Amino acid sequence: MEVINPNEIGVKISTLIAEANKSFIAVSAYINLSQWKKIIVNLEKASNVE
């Protein structure tokens, strides 16, 4: 588990998604990703990789 500084959340999550080999699991009750377009784009790219 890694605790991420609030100022680095977007960059860190995008990096983790891009570098994930097989899966990515994020658990947070406090974050709303719907407004973070770069993260959504990275998730869409990762889901299209076979």
> pLDDT per position in the chain (50 positions), as tens?
777 787 887 788 888 888 888 887 877 777 776 777 887 888 888 887 65
Where along the chain do its domains lie?
22-50
SS3 for the chain is CCCCCHHHHHHHHHHHHHHCCCCCCCCCCCCCHHHCHHHHHHHHHHHCCC
pLDDT for res 44: 83
pLDDT of residue 36: 78
pTM over 0.85: no
